[in-house]
Structure 1
Amino acid sequence: MRDMTGPGNGGGRRKRQSPRSSSPRPGREVDRKLDQHETYEFGGPFGVLAIMLGFPTLMYYLWICLWFYDGQLVHPSSLDDIKPFLATMWTHIRQDAYPSRYAWQVYGGNILFQFFLAFTLPGYKQEGLPVPSLNYKTLTYNCNALYCLYATVVTAAVLHSTNIFRLTELIDNFGHLMSVGMICGFSISFGAYFFAIATGSQIRMSGNFLYDVFMGAILNPRIGSVDLKMWAEVRVPWVIVFFLAVSGGCKQYEELGYVTPNMAFMILATGLYLNACGKGEECIPQTWDMYHEKWGFMVIFWNFAGVPFSYIYSVVYMARTDPAKYQFSTLRYVLMFTVLLTAYYIFDTANSQKSRFKMQTQGINTFRTSFPQLPWGTIKNPTFIKTAHGNRLLTSGWWGYSRKPNYVADWVMSFCWGAIIGTATPIPYFYSVFFITVLVHRVGRDFERCSAKYGKDWERYCDTVKYKFIPGVF
């Protein structure tokens, strides 16, 4: 999963300061302890094995329900029906989700094109936070996602309008593309592990093969100027998600002669998210994902398969279903768009406030301008708690109301992605249900690490910012 502190709208040229000044010696001792494997997460080896096998199975099942059974959660009616039920499920996968040549060409072509753009286009140079495992070295990131996005949109429009590649074919080949994405997710996860072992670049290892493949062995894999972890987080999943939504809209227009407000909502929602990732890419190097989280199955599979093919179930449903089953009143459409845009505003500005605050602590005081800039993206004269570790904990802006305001806004958007089809089927709500589970778990990991890192200062911070998510509630 991604760190939600990423897509904001900050940036800037930094005044270099010595990495040694970023963390006093007591803080370094804590960092060294936190940068070692001490306990298993996610249920340990058996837990991660269940996740690695269970999620692909669940993704296939939910796709089958949407594609063949009008979004109904089908199941065997008796024990005697289990075997024929499983046989039917397998038939659907074998016939309509096999990794076809077309799917390899489209999925693989997009991956290569996105990498080519990331490798060749100019970008904004941004340094990340000092990385403890690299002796507090800062890495430079070439942030050109916005240029890559524009180049991709223009290329797709030309190919579609000239009938070289029709975007409607994406949603029609959803199952095939999903299988290719899963194969890539597994292959790259194991490949990254073996590469780390072969080059001696592994860190924070547990010694258990499956667990280390899941959590990752390497921290900052790179090919030239392209940081593979950040590239895969921004360029792969959200590009696919957006174009699947556009494909659904194109399919409706060709079949119905118009695009439903529900589908337009999803095109807007996915477009906003993709643009947020691009315009605020220079904020991502400041996040937990970049300087601490390793590049393993947990991140890789979700970027290459999980996000693009499970967050977009509402589009899959609408592309296969009569619009009469999910039409709303005008008032409800107004409410849905208002909630989405409000949540996006909080999400964008909260991320921007946090990222720009971190940049300010590194000596960055001028910020990159990229479209669209939203008011209150930077806090003037921010309040904070200075820790003995050397870091500062922000206590103003949205971050004075709760410790994770961006997570709340992000989850509201995810809920809207399901709610846009109402109660026609529960499957599109998978994103928000899964997402809240991930967020709560991630917050627990984050707060536990902060408590160990900051000690009494963390207690002082929690006394100042009392609520984890929703002010006055929780």
Structure 2
Amino acid sequence: MSKQSSTALNPRTTSYEFLGPPGALLITLGVPITTYALYFGCSEHAGGCPPPLILDRISSALSDPAWWKGLWDTQATLMYFAWYAFCLVSWVVLPGDLVAGTTLRTGEKKQYKINAFSTFLLALGLTSGAIYRYGPESFTFLHDKFVGFITASIIMSVIQGVACYAASFRDGALLALGGNSGNYIYDFFIGRELNPFSYGSFDLKTFNELRPGLILWTLIDISMVCEQATRRGGFSQVTDSLWLVLLFQGWYVVDALYNEPGIFTQMDIATDGFGFMLAVGDLAWVPFAYCLQARYLVFSPVVLGPVATGGVVMFNLVGYYIFRTANAEKNDFRNGKNPKNLEFFTTESGSKLLTSGWWGASRHPNYFGDILMALAWSFPTGFTTPITYFYVVYFAVLLIHRQRRDDEMCEKKYGKDWKKYMELVPYRIIPYVY
């Protein structure tokens, strides 16, 4: 590829997200720190959720070399890297269909091998067999070595972030339109190359999106159930609240893995580069922050009773129904199907935008379902601490940010047609509210 053609294909990024390099640096440092803080700010080991005299505890911990040494666990690190290797080997040996992604700027379409769901079933089968054979106490190590696993996942994220940034400078690399600013802090964070370490049907970005972190999230929840079962005298004594959290979050993971082809049109995959942001998000943040409710219920068990359990289940089902049916409408329409005869708006470029069904109620109804499910995951923890509702607040902020990014991209793509569309569908996420 000539220098001229390379420049045309990979234009310089002229606008920043996340407040530019200062924001990128803040998030690069902040995500690992927050992941640790969610543990030390809400754990039995630290003394509560939050622990008493938390500022004094933070000060004394940070000045204690033993505390810093306690972040490292050699056994947990070896286990984590073995888990990542297991996911890689499973991708190779398990059968899977090839699915085409979106058209790249080069005019090509990458073929992806999909077998995330079968990888999950294999991991779940091995885990269930071990628990059945050796008892729940055999699978409490994810609970017991939680901090060590966080450290290992962050190390893996840094390794991948550095490797992907370095590899993006090779000749012929297709860069992300938003990751070629020339500022090494920002580009390292946001992701400079669109699909780094992509060979044949393997792609590191899509591999990380659904496998190592997402499946591990469910395994961590199972470990929390095993820890509570060990403490309380068996699985029959595990609280209804913890079973609900495992059911809700496990089903969310199953749904994502089973519908793996749906990720290829998402912003993370189609337009974003792969850098430290996605690496630490997929590998560290998702499994070790999203399990907060399950981890809390181990040391602060809550018994809901049948009425409250039924209410929380119904609330989650409403959120899931909105999430799944909205995504189904979108996927059908993108594939040239319209079984519900939904109305749509045709732009001057020929693109078609849904204006009825869930996509007529708001521009991102699937996000609305996501927020409702996030609340249902937190309700089982009760209302004695706001920390277990951190996920709801974080997720709402994340989805609002994604919605704004998507709207900006659509405005650039459709121009004045996007303003007409917004008049037809005025609500962004929550109908009649936002």
Query: What TM-score do you get using the length of structure 2 for normalisation?
Result: 0.90
* Distance (whole Å) between structure 1 residues aligned to residue 9 and residue 410 of structure 2: 13
1:385 and 1:395 in contact (8 A); partners too: yes
Aligned residue type for 2:296: Y
Q: Pick one of 421, 426, 431 that aligns with 2:391.
A: 431
**Displacement of 1:437 after TM fit?**
1.1
Answer yes or no: is the 8 Å Cα contact 1:131–1:292 preserved in 2.
no
> Amino acid of the residue matched to residue 170 of structure 2?
A
| SS of residue in 2 equivalent to 1:140 | strand
- Of 53, 58, 63 in structure 1, the residue corresponding to residue 39 of structure 2 is 63
User: Which residue does 2:341 correspond to in 1?
Assistant: 381
Tell me how many residue pairs correspond in the alignment.
Answer: 417
Following the alignment from structure 1 to structure 2, what is the Cα–Cα distance between the partners of residues 77 and 157?
41
User: How far does the alpha carbon of each residue in 1:364-410 deviate from its partner, in whole angstroms, 9 at most, with x for none?
Assistant: x6xxxxxxxxxxxx743332212223422122321111111100111
Q: Is there any run of 5+ residues in structure 2 with no aligned partner, and where?
A: 1-7
Q: Please state how far the C-alpha of 1:86 moved relative to its aligned partner.
A: 3.2
From the superposition, tell whether residues 236 and 391 of structure 1 become closer, same or farther in structure 2 (CA, over 3 Å). farther
Aligned equivalents of 1:328, 1:313: Cα separation in 2: 18
Residue 193 of structure 2, aligned match among 207, 218, 224: 218
Distance change (3 Å), C-alpha of 1:458 and 1:116: same
Measure the CA separation in 2 of the matches of 1:310 and 1:274.
15
Q: Which residue of 2 aligns with 1:265?
A: 244
* Cα distance in 2, alignment partners of residues 122 and 116 from structure 1: 12
Match for residue 336 of structure 1? 312
Tell me what 1:169 maps to: 141
Whether the 8 Å CA contact 2:100–2:109 is kept in 1: the answer is yes
CA RMSD of aligned residues (A): 2.3
Q: AA paired with 2:49?
A: G
Q: Which residue of 1 aligns with 2:25?
A: 49
Q: Secondary structure at the match of 1:425?
A: coil
- SS of the residue corresponding to residue 431 of structure 2 reads coil
Does the aligned pair in 1 maintain the 2:111–2:200 contact within 8 Å? no
Determine the C-alpha separation between the residues in 2 that align with 1:92 and 1:86: 7
The equivalent residue for 2:210 is: 234
Does the CA-based 8 Å contact 1:70-1:317 persist in structure 2? no
Task: Indicate how the Cα distance of structure 1 residues 155 and 82 shifts in structure 2: closer, same or farther if over 3 A, else same.
Answer: closer
Question: How far 1:38 moved relative to its partner?
Answer: 1.7
SS across alignment from 2:186: helix
- For the 8 Å contact 1:240–1:308, the answer to whether it is kept is yes
Q: After superposition, what is the alpha-carbon deviation per residue over 1:94-131, rounded to whole angstroms, capped at 9, x for unaligned?
A: 32x31x22212221111111111112222222212212
Contact 2:312-2:376 at 8 Å conserved across structures: yes
Name the structure, 1 or 2, with higher relative contact order (CA <8 Å, separation 6+): 1
Cα separation, 2, equivalents of 1:392 and 1:212:
33
Q: Structure 2 residue aligned with 1:315, among 294, 315, 331?
A: 294
C-alpha distance in 1 between matches for 2:306 and 2:134: 35
Distance 1:190 1:34, change over 3 A: closer
The letter of the residue matching 2:83 is: N
Inter-partner Cα distance in structure 2 for 1:140 and 1:386: 29
Q: Deviations over 1:128-175 (max 9, x none)?
A: 22123x2x3222121212221211111222233344992221111111
Distance 2:83 2:253 in 1: 15
Is the contact between residue 116 and residue 258 of structure 2 (CA under 8 Å) also seen in structure 1?
yes
TM-score by length of 1: 0.83
Contact 2:165 2:191 in 1 (8 A): yes
Q: Which of 162, 166, 170 pairs up with 1:194? A: 166
CA distance in 2, matches of 1:129, 1:224: 16
* Same amino acid, percent of matched pairs: 31
Structure 2 partner of 1:253? 229
Contact 1:181 1:305 in 2 (8 A): yes
1:125 to 71, 81, 98: 98
Write the distance in 2 (CA, Å) between the matches of 1:227 and 1:358: 23
SS at match of 1:166: helix
Distance 1:44 1:184, change over 3 A: same
Amino acid at match of 2:94: L
Write the mapping of 1:7-156 to structure 2, written as runs, cut at 5 A: 37-67=13-43, 68-72=46-50, 83-84=59-60, 86-87=62-63, 91-95=66-70, 97-98=71-72, 100-132=73-105, 134=106, 136-156=107-127
